[in-house]
Amino acid sequence: MKISITGANSSVGINLLGHLSEIEGMEVIAGVRSKSAFASLPQSPAVTPTTISYDDSASLEQALAGTDCVIHLAGILIENKHSNYASANVAATAAVVEAAKAMSVKHIIFISVVGASASSSNAYFRSKGAAEELVLNSGLAGTVVRTPILMGPGTAGASSLIGTASSGQAKVLGGGDYSMRPLDTDDLSSALIKLATKEAEGSQVFELVGPEAIAYKDLIKKTAGLMGKEVEVGSVPVLFAKIGAAIGSTIKGGGITPTVIDVITMNEVVSQNADSQIGISLTPLQDTLTKILNNE
């Protein structure tokens, strides 16, 4: 089987490539935006790195030639001077969908986020919702996997959690009262492989979250406990943080914005977890945390 991945150098991509390269007979095209990203990819005879440009349909079509399924991972939460939601989340998805259609790829899988909606008042959720619609209305078999905060080596969530938990005294947004459902990136990779390797049917949306709901403040304390440390968790009022973020992001042309703060502090709630429907078992939160700490 041949699978193409976009954003292959993302934290999810690197994890997924590791899992895919252990499957006999699997051929993977790992699409990244620059040759310099090749070095970050797992080295395996099963994995062929290639450069793609979302503005150059020929490069995308070449990366998708003969592929059974494309897993579109490229996307951002934090905008910067070079990447915004319109380019990274919407236009890149549109380009991948068009290339997949041109190359008669049977199945496109897109990683979205819990809370995505094309009618959301939040610009990030709206961009992911718009991208979902492009995939689901593509005419190809389209699968959307909405995820919560991801925990695994190299994920932004894991780095921030470990930094906060080891700080002794942490101040977090709203005192960290919001509820999270952290998902292990190994579990996400297992789910993506299950979905990519079975016969695709029409359009489907899955919400896949971790096994345990936990307030962020408790997640910090739990992580500190596993490190044999104690941490005091204080509060940064969300309104003050948003004012600071609005000013800072305007000056810098990106970074943490009020939009990002709303995403971070949203309660991650789903009506039904897709783990059993997809056919995976979820890693207990404690084991996920132990894994990310051992990777430090």
d(CA 291, CA 285) in angstroms, rounded, equals 10
Cβ neighbours, 10 Å, residue 272: 10
Q: Least CB distance from residue 93 to ligand NAP, whole Å? A: 9
> Scanning the structure block, which residue is given the tokens 């934090």?
78
Q: Least CB distance from residue 183 to ligand NAP, whole Å? A: 8
Name the residue nearer to ligand NAP (CB basis): 110 or 243. Answer: 110
Name the residue nearer to ligand NAP (CB basis): 188 or 224. Answer: 188
Q: Least CB distance from residue 9 to ligand NAP, whole Å? A: 5
Say which DSSP state 79 is in: B
Say which DSSP state 88 is in: I
d(CA 100, CA 103) in angstroms, rounded, equals 5
Name the residue nearer to ligand NAP (CB basis): 55 or 232. Answer: 55
Binding site for ligand NAP (CB under 6 A): 7, 9-12, 33-34, 37, 54, 73-77, 83, 87-88, 92, 111, 113, 147, 149-150, 155-157
Q: Least CB distance from residue 59 to ligand NAP, whole Å? A: 12
d(CA 6, CA 74) in angstroms, rounded, equals 6
Q: Which residue is nearest to ligand NAP (CB)?
A: 75
Q: Are 32 and 8 in contact (CB under 8 A)?
A: yes
Name the residue nearer to ligand NAP (CB basis): 113 or 260. Answer: 113
> Scanning the structure block, which residue is given the tokens 């709203």?
174
Name the residue nearer to ligand NAP (CB basis): 4 or 237. Answer: 4
Q: Least CB distance from residue 243 to ligand NAP, whole Å? A: 25
d(CA 92, CA 153) in angstroms, rounded, equals 25
